[in-house]
Amino acid sequence: MNPELPGSFTIDAWDAGSRARTGFLQTAHGVVETPVFMPVGTQGTVKAMSPAELEGLGVSILLGNTYHLNLRPGMEVIEACGGLHRFMGWNRPILTDSGGFQVFSLAGLRKIRDEGVEFSSHIDGSRIFLGPVEAMRIQRILGSDIAMVFDECPPHGCTRDYACQSMEKSIAWAAKCAEQPRAAGQLVFGIVQGGAFTDLRRRCAHELVAIGFDGYAVGGVSVGEPEDVLLQGMEDGVAELPPDRPRYLMGVGRMSQILKAVSLGVDMFDCVIPTRYARNGSAFTARGAYPVKAGAYRVDTRPVEEGCGCYTCSHFSRAYVRHLLNVGEILGVRLLTIHNLFRYQAFMVQVREAVRGGYFGDYCRAFTADEPALQEET
C-alpha cells in the first residue's frame, strides 16, 4: 500500500506482551499518529477552544457530528463556506460520526424504519429523516477525512432479539453506505454492533470485513453498562477485526479504559470527558481527576497539576481557576479545558512512547498502582 495515499495505515511498533501497537494513518489532511485521542467538536468546535489552541496542544484530529451539523447550521451553509475544514478554520484531519449515536441518545424523538431513522428535531420538532444514503451525502458535503457508516446504537439491557435485529439492520446500512460516493480522499469506517452478545459482535465484524472498509470501529459501548460489560464488548468487538486496518473505539475516554483498549490493539479514541469535566469544574492529572471547584482549593497556590507544562499550569493557581469557575467567568472553563486536553494529549504521547520503548506493560501497571492515591485526591 502506498504510504502517501489516504487510508494508508503503517504499524511501526508492537508490544511484546499484548496487542498494543503504534502507527501512522494517512488522511487527506495529514498524518495521524496512533494510538490517538480525538477531542469532540460536535457542533464544529471543541467547546471553549480555538483551532490555534488545539494545534498548540498537539491535537492531530477532531470529531464532528453529522446529525447536529445537518440541523445547524445546515449543509447549504457549510457547502457555501467550502466544507467543514474551511468553515471551522481547522486544517488537520476530521472524523465525522454518522448520527448513529443519536439513534440511541434521542430514543424518545425517533422512529426506526428499514430505510433509516425518522427524527423529531430536538430544536423545533420538525421531521428529519436520516439513513445510510443521507448520512453519507451529508458527510460528503462536510468533506471529513473519515466518514462513519450509519448504524443503530442499541441501548444497554436490550434483549438478544433486539440486539440481533439491530445488528442486521446496521450491517445492511453499512453495505449501503459503502456504495455511496465520497468526497475526494475520504475514508469510510464500518462500525461493529451486537450489544452485550459476543457471538453477535463477532458475526458483525465478519460481515463488515467482508464488505470492506478503510477502518473499523467498535460502537454500542459506554452506553450505561457496567464496567465489566463495557470491557467485554470492547474485547469482542476488536477480536475479529483485521490487524492491518485502524481500529476505533467510539465514545470511551477514561484513561484506564483507553489503556485496556490499547492493549487489545485499538488505535483511535474519542470522548467528551476532558471538556465536559472542565465545564463541571474538574481537572485531570497524571494521577486522575479532582474537583478544582471544591472549597479545599480556595487558597491553594499550586498549579492545577504540579509539574504540568500547559499554559494554565504555567500561569495560574488552583485558587484562581477555582475563583473563576465559582463566579461563572468564561475564562475559568477555558483554562481548565486547556489543561484537561493537554493532559490527554500528554497521556497519549506517553502511551505511544511506552509501546515503542518496550515498557507498555510496566507503564500500565504503574498507572494502575497510582489509582488508589488518585481516589484520595478526588
330-368 pLDDT, tens digit each: 999 999 999 999 999 999 999 999 999 999 999 999 998
Both 85 and 160 in one domain: the answer is yes
* pLDDT confidence bin for 372, thresholds 50/70/90: low
How many other CB atoms are there within 10 angstroms of residue 114's CB atom? 8
The domain total for the chain is 2
In degrees and rounded to multiples of 5, residue 138 shows phi and psi of -60, -45
| Residues 6 or more apart in contact with residue 70 via CB below 8 angstroms | 99, 128, 130, 138
Which of 249, 271, 293 corresponds to the end of one domain? 271
Both 282 and 162 in one domain: the answer is no
Both 169 and 288 in one domain: the answer is no
* pLDDT confidence bin for 377, thresholds 50/70/90: very low
User: CA–CA separation, 378 vs 376, rounded Å?
Assistant: 6
User: CA–CA separation, 246 vs 249, rounded Å?
Assistant: 10
Q: What is the CATH number of the domain that holds 170?
A: 3.20.20.105
Q: What is the mean pLDDT of residues 38-50?
A: 97
Q: For the whole model, what pTM was predicted?
A: 0.95
Which of 236, 271, 306 corresponds to the end of one domain? 271
Residue of 145, 151, 236, 270 marked active site:
270
Nine-digit cell string for 352: 505511544
Residue-wise pLDDT for 264-302, tens only, equals: 999 999 999 999 999 999 999 998 899 999 999 999 999
Q: Is 338 a domain residue? A: yes
Both 102 and 25 in one domain: the answer is yes
CA distances from 58 to 52, 191, 327, 346 (A): 10, 27, 30, 9
Residue of 97, 145, 151, 214 marked active site:
97
Query: Does residue 97 carry a catalytic annotation?
Result: yes
> Are the C-beta atoms of 21 and 355 separated by less than 8 Å?
yes
User: CA–CA separation, 153 vs 167, rounded Å?
Assistant: 9
Amino acid at 236: D
Q: Is 187 a domain residue? A: yes
Which of 239, 256, 271 corresponds to the end of one domain? 271
User: CA–CA separation, 352 vs 91, rounded Å?
Assistant: 24
